[in-house]
Amino acid sequence: MERRDFITLVTAAALGSRLHPELERLGALLPGRLEPVTRPHIGSADVVAIEAITDGFRRWDLAHGGGLCRTAALTQLHQVRALEGAACASSIRTRLCIATAELASMAGWLAYDIEEHDSARKLWTYALQTAHRGEDHPRSTDLTVSILLDMAHQSLHLRRPQEALKFTQLASATAVNRRYPVSTITAGYIAAVMGWCWASLSEVAATERAVGLSEDHYASADPDTMPPWAWFVTTAEIAAQQGHSMYLLSLTEPDFALIAIDRLSIAVSEHAMEHARSRAVVLPTLAGACLQAGDFKSAASYGRDAITAITELSSQRCYVRLRDLDTIAARHDSDADVAELRGGIRAVLATT
């Protein structure tokens, strides 16, 4: 999907516009095809099953990465799309749209995690369009915003901070222009991703404002009214978000490295065992922050932990983080520990 037109397409999907000619073809453009199983009628139990399947894919991704379940998620999505013509009550239809959009969004994330970026974008854009069809559901706004933030996440990964900023600004505008407001948790995530964008652009004051706003939102979230889908937004995840902004700032402003180390160390130590991929993706960043702070011994230790953790996963995105770490380490390989770490990284990358 051409970059020059992609943001326009995403905006049209998020707003529910039918004016963009590509939107009507999204279903046919989704990667992976098979003969679907058709159903004449569906009910609440079918929607609950789709929601449970999506939740299962999310848990697998957090534990193992997207490589081993991306195809399964695509297969499931095509089966679910076949239910669109089934008879059901209007309330079930709305829930089906949201469940389908969430499954498509999850499939997009799994594709992104294994560096299939074009497939991820097609899936996310389809998810946006489908979520808008379910706009009468309270989950619709949160889901739409989360999809846009995933797209910003990908843009930052691809070194496109201006593009990421546009997606995040669209997410922020969407959050206040829909029938249902976003949850406090989602508001915190908008601010966190905004912090990443500004940090990637070396805008210190804007980054600090965004990170502070994110902290305020997360602190004000009521655990008793936490939406059920937000179970994965843990203390470790929040610390990782904050630490990543500080790490990005440290690449041009090394004074921020110590703050990054503090936040990222919390994330590494507090991520649950079943969130192994989340922990693994933080470790190279923590090692890089240590390099920026001049603590080469800790950098080498965390770097070795990163190699061990990443090689146990099926996440190509984690290997990109290792390459990023090697780039920073190259400036300091006169140190024996750093030179040894670089040798370990190169040995792993040569086999992937």
**Half-sphere exposure (Cβ direction) of 102: Cα atoms closer than 13 Å:** 27
In a domain, 81, yes or no: yes
Convert the pLDDT of each residue in 221-273 to its tens digit: 887 777 777 888 889 999 999 999 999 999 999 999 999 999 999 999 999 89
Report pLDDT for 22.
Answer: 57
Higher pLDDT, 19 or 84: 84
What does pLDDT average to over the chain? 90
Four-residue CA torsion sign, 40, 49, 229, 315: negative
CB–CB of 305/267 below 8 Å? no
Please, which residues have CB within 8 angstroms of residue 309's CB and are 6 or more apart in sequence? Answer: 276, 279, 280, 283, 318
Does some domain include residue 347?
no
CA atoms within a 13 Å half-sphere pointing along the CA-CB vector of 152:
28
CA separation, residue 309 to residues 15, 275, 277, 297 (Å): 40, 11, 8, 19
Residue count of the chain = 352
Q: Which residue has the tokens 């065992």?
A: 273
- Nearest Cα to Cα of residue 91 among 141, 47, 52, 35: 47
- Asked whether residue 270 is domain-assigned, the answer is no
Q: Residue 96 belongs to what domain range?
A: 1-137
Entry pTM: 0.88
- Asked, for residue 191, whether it belongs to a domain, the answer is no
Q: What is the pLDDT of residue 138?
A: 92
Q: How confident is the model at residue 21 (pLDDT cuts 50, 70, 90)?
A: low
Is 250 part of any domain? no
What pLDDT was estimated at residue 228? Answer: 78
How is residue 126 written in tokens? 């389809």
Number of domains in the chain: 1
DSSP 225: G
277 is a domain residue: no
| pLDDT, tens only, 193-212 | 999 999 999 999 999 999 99
Rg (CA), the chain: 20
pLDDT, tens digit (0-9, with 9 covering 90-100), for 69-128: 888 999 999 989 988 888 999 999 999 999 999 999 999 999 999 999 999 999 999 999
DSSP 95-135: HHHHHHHHHHHHHHHHHHHTT-HHHHHHHHHHHHHHHHHTT
pLDDT at 2 exceeding the cut of 90: no
Residues 277 and 313 sit within 8 Å (Cβ to Cβ): yes
What percent of the chain is modeled with pLDDT above 90?
77
The DSSP bridge partners found for residue 87 are 41
Which token pair is 187?
A: 């508001």
Q: What CA–CA distance (Å, rounded) separates 335 from 307? A: 19
The mean pLDDT value for 289-308 works out to: 98
313 lies in a domain?
no
Q: Is residue 89 part of a domain?
A: yes
Q: Is 249 helix (H, G, I), strand (E, B) or coil?
A: helix
